[in-house]
Structure 1
Amino acid sequence: MPTYEYKREDGTTFEVIQKMSDDPLTTCPETGQKVKRIISGGGGVVYKGDGFYVTDYKNGGRSNGSAKPESSDSKPAKGSG
């Protein structure tokens, strides 16, 4: 269930875990003040584990099983550039 942030009349804020289908609160359950739901930037992206770089680009986009050693003919020719 998502967490929604509300702002009380006095300017203080609090968070409530609600179902998406629940109606927004109109009063604070603790103080009884009128409240307005704040549209926040969201939770953002959470990366877990060793990281995006290590799992997806460790071998230049190739999977571990298909990594080929570089051959000597992949070097630029003399006099170019």
Structure 2
Amino acid sequence: MPTYSYRCTACDNAFDIHQQFADASLTECSSCGGQLRKVFGNLGVTFNGTGFYRNDSRSASKPVSSSSASESGGTTSGT
């Protein structure tokens, strides 16, 4: 169940409560009867590191293809 933060607009009473998605939002402060507002904060997700790039999934050395091997000095016929 998600945790929601509320703050009263009249008395500044702040609290957190576990509610299901289907539950209605709280609207009345239990301390003074004032209007409650949901408090939205920063997300609890942190992305650390360099990220994921296209070259991260490739090997460090490039494989030699068959066409470049024959051009670069494969066996020669004739002489």
TM-score (norm 1): 0.49
How well do the aligned residues superpose, as a CA RMSD in angstroms?
2.9
Q: Percent identity?
A: 31
Q: Tell me which structure has the larger Cα radius of gyration.
A: 2
Contact 1:4 1:37 in 2 (8 A): no
Query: Aligned residue for 1:56?
Result: 52
Q: 2-side partners of 1:5 and 1:56: how far apart?
A: 34
Q: 2-side partners of 1:21 and 1:42: how far apart?
A: 23
Check if 1:16 corresponds to 2:17: yes
Number of residues of Structure 1 aligned to a counterpart in Structure 2 = 61
Describe the superposition over 1:12-64 as per-residue Cα deviations: whole angstroms up to 9, x where unpaired: 321112111100112334x25333222514425234xxx432x635xx72336
Q: Secondary structure at the match of 1:62?
A: helix
Query: Aligned residue for 2:27?
Result: 26
TM-score (norm 2): 0.50
4+ residue segments displaced more than 6 Å: none
Query: Aligned residue for 2:45?
Result: 45
* Distance change (3 Å), C-alpha of 1:27 and 1:7: same
Show structure 1 runs of 5+ residues with no match. Answer: 70-81
* Distance change (3 Å), C-alpha of 1:16 and 1:24: same
